[in-house]
Amino acid sequence: MRSRLEARWGVFFDALGLAWEYEKEGFTLEGDVRYLPDFWLSELNMWVEVKGQEPTNDELIKGLLLSKATGHPVALLWGAIPLPDPGEVFRDIEEILQELKDGTYICPPYPSYGSYCLEYDKTGEGIASQFYTLDCQYLPMNCAYFTVGNAWLQCPQCGSIGFADWLYKSRMPCDCIPVGRESFDLLIDRTPDLLTAYRAARQARFEFGKHGN
């Protein structure tokens, strides 16, 4: 791989059992923009692009053009792999449901890496005020958008892994939990599986001159 950060995310996906392909396919996008995305996650039907720093507007537009060309969302991750708090534990689903009912549930903060999810929706039906849009002649304002506050999540019922924000739960591969803000809080971002994957990614060591398999 081209960077240790990309290799660490590869370790993260491996630890979760998510099949991935590195630099699977290059594209020539509208405006003669060339793009070779970092990862393809076949189980989630999603591209993943890794950056060391917060992406520029041009990089966001490239990701949106990729989503438009392929019909798949693009997860854009930047910054170091987070170090989980060792005191974090998996919450029992019944306990969370009771806290939601009592009005005492507090959704934990997401890990500290930056994340966007870039999406092109030609119908425009998914657009809401919470979505951010970018000005580009190839991206109609009512069709192209990106969301913030995304995280890797695990369904507490079936254990499947997904990447989602609180408005667009459909990026989970299962249908165990219905779409909606309250329902999203039930998708846990700090299960033992996820914490183990973050630790494995941070602790991975690569030989000199190599960035991973």
Q: Beta-carbon neighbour count of residue 137 at 10 Å?
A: 7
Q: 40-49, 53-62, 107-116, 172-181: lowest mean pLDDT where?
A: 107-116
CA dihedral of 26, 27, 28, 29, whole degrees rounded to 10 = -150
Position 152 pLDDT exceeds 80: yes
Q: How many CB atoms lie within 10 A of CB 126?
A: 16
Tokens of 17: 């059992």
Mean pLDDT of 156-162: 87
Q: What's the pLDDT band for 15 if we cut at 50, 70, 90? A: very high
- pLDDT at position 183 is 54
**Starting at the edge strand that comes first in sequence, how are the strands of the sheet with 144-148 ordered?**
21-22, 39-41, 46-51, 74-78, 114-120, 144-148
Question: The tokens 């009005």 sit on which residue?
Answer: 103
Between 199 and 124, the more confident residue is 199
Overall average pLDDT of the 143-169 stretch: 76
Query: Which structure tokens are listed for 199?
Result: 């630790």
Domain residue spans of the chain: 4-203
> Kindly report the CA angle at 65 between 179 and 55, in degrees rounded to 5?
85
Q: Whole-model pTM? A: 0.78
Nearest-angstrom CA–CA distance, 177 and 100: 14
The confidence score (pLDDT) of residue 128 equals 40
Per residue in 46-71, pLDDT (tens digit) is 999 999 998 888 888 888 889 889 98
